Amino acid sequence: MKTKLYNLMNWADIEGIVYSEEDRPGNILGPHKVGNSVLYQAFFPDAKKVSLVIEGKEKKVAMDQADEEGFFAATAASALEAGYYYEVVTKEGKKEKRQDPYAFHYHPSREKLEAYKQGILYDSWKYFGCKKMKIDEKEGCSFLVRVPGAMRVSLVGEFSHWDGRRYPMNRVEGTDIFALFFPDFQVEQGYLYEVKKKDGSTWLMQDPYSILQEEVQGTVSKAYPESTLAVKNEKEHTPKEKNNPIVYSLIKEELGRKNILREIREMGFTHVSLPVYYPGKVFYQLPEYVESFQALKEFVEAAHKEDLGVIFKWQASQCDNLKEKENSNFYISNLLFLIQELTLDGVILSGLEELFYLDYKKSQGEWIPNIYGGNENLEGIELIKHMVSIIRRDQPEMLLLAGLDALWWGVTEALEKGGLGFDYCYDTAFKARIIGYLKAKEGDRHYHYSGLSQRADYAGEQNFIMAFDKEDLTGLWQEMEGSEEEKFEFLKAMISYISFLPGSAIQGFEYPADYKKEIDSLIKKCHQMKEQMIALGENEWENFIFINRNQSNEGTISFMKLSKEEENSFLVIANFSSFKKEEFFVGVPLEGKYRLIFDTKSKAFGGENLMLSQQAATVEEGWDGFNYKAGFTLEPYSLKVFSYNAYTEEEIMEMAVKRAEEIRKKLENEAKEKIARLRARKENLLNRHE
């Protein structure tokens, strides 16, 4: 090596490159101005010979090998802005053209990085990971990654023969973030990060902002195609109305079924929820039930064309290490990305109980109390509030559901009032009680009976949604007691009962294909009737009363949906027992006639009832705490809905005449009895005197 070149070398820094411990390689590698010349330094461990080729000048400069490990250097009089590349002859004699990432100064925005550090860079996916960009008219990709505790981070892949010594990344000063611009890098290329710790150990890390692909070397990272991100399937999509949602819970096996979305819409559902998504260590990690992100977007678009809102189920319990705001930023950005790119109508944040409680499903000694000595995960609670606040700010029309399998105050209370700000909270207690009732043997159902109506006692505390997800109902049909026909009738009655109760519902009941047509028809009819009840424009719980919910041994339960216009009132009677009940009396608050308008036993739903002009008239007699009663016939495992009709003026007059006649006859009979008693006394007196 020439003495002049030797004297220009910083041998301590070169050692850091050779031993792969340098976290600011841009200070050494690449071109650097030294006097009137430019010093070029490069590290190629597999090189036998390296030449510097100045583009546009037809100039090739042989580089000196400054270190036998593969460190090469040369000086040239060319200006720094001149393009160049390295011509490498490997030890195997192969000649290769290699670009120099250290010829470009990639400086990520300080403002963006500070926002990221504070946990408020909500579109972090636009900056981190592998992003296609251009520097000094040279196309390539920028790489930006945060690796706490790393001494050195390198970009590796087939292009580097998976050698972490070749392309170390530059640490952003004062941070644990590493950056590099790689010219001519193709987004289709797989890559990983090699991380070296202070103890000298190394490990390969996936890019948190990548899509994973399986390749020969294992699971590697790939950039998300920006062309896909830039093109929206539905630029003008208006989110589905979020009030009174009726949600169909999809399972992955249904996603590919032809016409599934049309069937769901025709059954009267307003929304469809996708199977659960687990936000892991990778930002664009695809759910297992889709082949590509584009396929997922196309499914959402198809649902919107069927006028179905789409709800994404996001597993919040996966969020960890939240003491670092950068991690919270990652999870918030992930959810916002999904909402934006998929044009979602709603989100279910599942597993909140695991996130909120430090001791959830843990034994003593397996968890550490918070700074106040409690079991609340303060960082987890703050994360959810932060998420909800940003969604409410940017997309107030978004439907937010809390999947919370535990008690928590204020889930649907506004954020400004100290709540969590959700629209609805899963009514997991009700779900568990209903499932318990369906699974119980008939002789034991009275133990579960109270659960049928218990939600009325706490419904006013929060906005609850009944969440019967398919994940919770798998295997239910097999566990139910009775013949296939009895299960069919029992499930129809229960689905109807759930549908007519006040409040919205997520339904995912499974049943054999033989009964699909009938049950789908029943669900459709239930939804149509529920819409009629909602259309009355009144608070559902406020105008709801249970008639009798104390008949655990009978297996019957009844309630009314009252209306200010009495004619719009409905009476619902369910018989969840296997016994037919003749002339079964139910107390009612309104005098009049109750006409049958819905019957789970009707022929339309696989039953035998004709649903002719069946109706029951009230009798003025106290029953179930009301002034009137009416008698009904209830078949086993059935539910009936009756509309209320007041008596007409003519009927009132007829009843008055009839009642008057009854009273006249009663008085006449009483008079005759009185006369008879008087005559009897007179006869007794005469007999005594004789």
Q: What would the pLDDT profile of 245-290 be if each residue is shown by its tens digit?
A: 999 998 888 888 889 999 999 999 999 999 888 887 777 777 778 8
Q: Which of 392, 399, 395, 378 is nearest to 328 (CA)?
A: 378
Q: What would the pLDDT profile of 74-85 be if each residue is shown by its tens digit?
A: 988 766 666 889
Residue type, 516: K
Residue with tokens 């179905």: 308
Q: Which of 562, 560, 563, 565 is nearest to 546 (CA)?
A: 560
Mean of the pLDDT values across residues 586-603? 95
Residue 225 confidence class, pLDDT cut points 50, 70, 90: low
Q: What would the pLDDT profile of 351-378 be if each residue is shown by its tens digit?
A: 999 999 999 999 988 999 999 999 999 9
Q: What is the model's pLDDT at position 231?
A: 45
Mean of the pLDDT values across residues 651-659? 80
Residue 545, SS3 per DSSP: strand
Q: How far is CA 389 from CA 332, 422, 623, in A?
A: 11, 10, 51
Taking CA 132 as the corner, what is the angle to CA 185 and CA 218, rounded to the nearest 5 degrees? Answer: 55
Q: What would the two tokens of residue 283 be?
A: 């930002």
Residue 471, SS3 per DSSP: helix
Lowest average pLDDT, out of 93-97, 216-220, 369-373, goes to 216-220
Q: What would the pLDDT profile of 181-206 be if each residue is shown by its tens digit?
A: 999 998 888 899 999 999 999 999 99
pTM: 0.86
Q: What does the alpha-carbon distance between residue 54 and residue 405 come to, in Å, rounded to a whole number?
A: 66
Q: Which of 263, 335, 274, 344 is nearest to 306 (CA)?
A: 263
Same CATH topology for 110-226 and 246-532? Answer: no
Residue 686 confidence class, pLDDT cut points 50, 70, 90: confident
Residue 229 confidence class, pLDDT cut points 50, 70, 90: low
Residue 613 confidence class, pLDDT cut points 50, 70, 90: low
Burial (CB < 10 A; 0-12, 13-18, 19+), residue 301, is middle
Q: What is the model's pLDDT at position 238?
A: 76
- Structural domain boundaries of the chain? 3-103, 110-226, 246-532
- The answer to whether residue 216 scores a pLDDT higher than 50 is no
Relative to beta strand 192-196, strand 202-205 is antiparallel
Mean of the pLDDT values across residues 661-672? 88
- The answer to whether residue 536 scores a pLDDT higher than 90 is no
Beta strands in 608-685 (DSSP E): 615-617, 628-634, 638-645
Mean of the pLDDT values across residues 136-163? 93
Q: What is the model's pLDDT at position 214?
A: 57
Instruction: Give me the chain's average pLDDT, please.
Output: 88
Taking CA 578 as the corner, what is the angle to CA 629 and CA 619, rounded to the nearest 5 degrees? Answer: 10
Helices (H), 501-624: 516-534
Relative to beta strand 37-43, strand 71-76 is antiparallel
- The answer to whether residue 215 scores a pLDDT higher than 70 is no
Taking CA 182 as the corner, what is the angle to CA 202 and CA 94, rounded to the nearest 5 degrees? Answer: 80
Q: What is the model's pLDDT at position 474?
A: 82
Q: What would the two tokens of residue 82 be?
A: 């001149």
Q: What does the alpha-carbon distance between residue 307 and residue 266 come to, in Å, rounded to a whole number?
A: 10
Q: What would the pLDDT profile of 107-131 be if each residue is shown by its tens digit?
A: 899 999 999 999 999 999 999 999 9
Q: Which CATH number fits domain 246-532: 3.40.50.920, 3.20.20.80, 3.40.50.300, 3.40.50.720?
A: 3.20.20.80
Residue 674 or residue 231, greater confidence: 674
Relative to beta strand 152-156, strand 192-196 is antiparallel
Residue 357, SS3 per DSSP: strand
Q: What is the model's pLDDT at position 235?
A: 53
Residue 557, SS3 per DSSP: strand
Q: Which architecture characterizes domain 110-226 according to CATH?
A: Sandwich (2.60)
Share of the chain above pLDDT 70, in %: 94
Query: How is domain 3-103 classified at the CATH fold level?
Result: Immunoglobulin-like (2.60.40)
